[in-house]
Structure 1
């Protein structure tokens, strides 16, 4: 017997076995739809309330247009955000990000929540305003003349409100 004939016989045998299994369902069955109602998803949103302000880490005024950073410098940007947090078990964090900061100096900068921790948001914070301070640090380990006279546009800096999923 050639390979094509053997293959055809094997396929026919397989189909017969599968068809035989289809006849095992009971002849009678029934189902009914439940009246489960409607569910609605919650909301999580963040809206900027003000333009914010800049300060050096020591609290003195910082003007990004005129001040010049050196390795080890820390500046703090503080702004307020309106929170929409709807959902019984909703928990989220507000975390600063330099993900969209551009320019050659950007790779020498890091962002972290000022004071060391991200701001936690729950449903109890719905329709409230939270103030977030972002500390931006010029990497103190920057060596040689790396980063000198370079710029970074902080217009891409952001605060991210992200839901925390708990299993």
Structure 2
């Protein structure tokens, strides 16, 4: 890219920031897979296990076992999918939503302490970066949905 954007440097910065960011909350520690499932269900709403498999870096037996544990711990519940009574939808319980909410609030508080140490100019750049990162996330979600649709179309033929 000839636009001055150093994607190697940007990738390293995002990786380094992510490493710090995911460790900001010191409340209610869970393993990464558990947190990933809880946050995915919080953001995407009720999902079938097969849909959750597409977002998580786990094989079906491991995810099935994790979901069973989360259900046993009162963080996730299953209910019949109204569109297909044979399938189950997974969603967060009140306790599961509270874990996600409290971790988010704690992360915001910790991040605000770090951002307070930036200059006014750096905070202004960061504000614009949030919009760009949101846009990249939207593009990735659209690309993933299109890829899933193409895969389904190939399977039907």
TM-score band w.r.t. shorter chain: under 0.3
Higher strand fraction: Structure 1 or Structure 2? 1
Q: Which has the larger radius of gyration?
A: 1
Structure number with higher relative contact order (C-alpha < 8 Å, ≥ 6 residues apart): 1
Higher helix fraction: Structure 1 or Structure 2? 2
TM-score by length of 1: 0.21
